[in-house]
Amino acid sequence: MPYNEALRPFKQKVTTKDGSQTLYSSEFDECYHSTNDGALNETLQKHIIPAFTLVPQKENLVILDICFGLGYNTLATIYYCKLHKISTKIKIISPELDEALVRSLKDFVYPEEFNILKPIIEQLSQNLYYEDEQFKIEILIGDARVTLPNIEQKIDIIYQDAFSPSKNPLLWTREYFSMLRELCNYDVIMTTYSSATPVRMGMLESGFKPYAPPKSNVRSGTIATLGSLELEFIDMELKLERNPNAKSLKDSQYQ
């Protein structure tokens, strides 16, 4: 079916606390970023910095960015690597449902830190793809639950940054996390803004171990891995003993 601009969900620009711009989505009734933490600040503090601090040193990294949205996680990854002279070769794979949004990002007002990335933004907006000597980016248009099983590379970092469990639950269920596990290296680092008990239960039940992130100037979320980390372990089994009603989200709840 041809894309009809008139049917596109309404999105409104919102200025966040750190001065960077995000959008409000009427379809999910949420902003793409925390307005209190700031779009750029949240991206760096909840995803990029902890991921690159904790991931083992490798010559090549494969990053799964769930979901592309405004591209902050992907772009901030490149910005961070350039800023800190990280020469690791990086491939970023990012599913995204809203192709029209990605196509429009060449006109989005990003923070000045991303000014050097304008050529990359333009190519992603036009081609849904970018590649140079260090970075390769692929945007997979469609439902993430459909596109993810087609990924062949093993994942080193996951930015679990979908709309919230209450708005987009199928990207937070136990079955979804089990799907992610099949894609991952054992030493994977998964970052997310969510600290909800059902999310952490879903991680645990699918084999991920949840940890409390290092202290920062943003709201706490969760860091998870299949192995172990030198962080504060979140004992969800103990939580379950204390609260037998604690449950993960299940696909069956939304079918």
Measure the N-to-C terminal CA separation of the chain; round to a whole number of Å: 25
- Domain containing residue 246: CATH number: 3.40.50.150
**pLDDT, tens digit, for every residue of 21-44?**
999 999 898 999 999 999 999 999
| Residue-averaged pLDDT of the chain | 93
Does 225 reside within a domain?
A: yes
Does 184 reside within a domain?
A: yes
Does 168 reside within a domain?
A: yes
**pLDDT, tens digit, for every residue of 157-203?**
999 999 999 999 999 999 999 999 999 999 999 999 999 999 999 99
Does 113 reside within a domain?
A: yes
The count of domains in the chain is: 1
Q: Residue 218 has what pLDDT? A: 82
Does 8 reside within a domain?
A: no
Does 98 reside within a domain?
A: yes
Does 2 reside within a domain?
A: no
**pLDDT, tens digit, for every residue of 54-112?**
999 999 999 999 999 999 999 999 999 999 999 999 999 999 999 999 999 999 999 99
Q: Residue 70 has what pLDDT? A: 97
d(CA 103, CA 89) in angstroms, rounded, equals 26
**Amino acid letter for position 164:** S
pLDDT band at 6 (very low <50, low <70, confident <90, very high): very low
The residue range of the domain holding 99 is 38-254
pTM of the predicted structure, to 2 decimals: 0.94
d(CA 31, CA 28) in angstroms, rounded, equals 8
Does 22 reside within a domain?
A: no
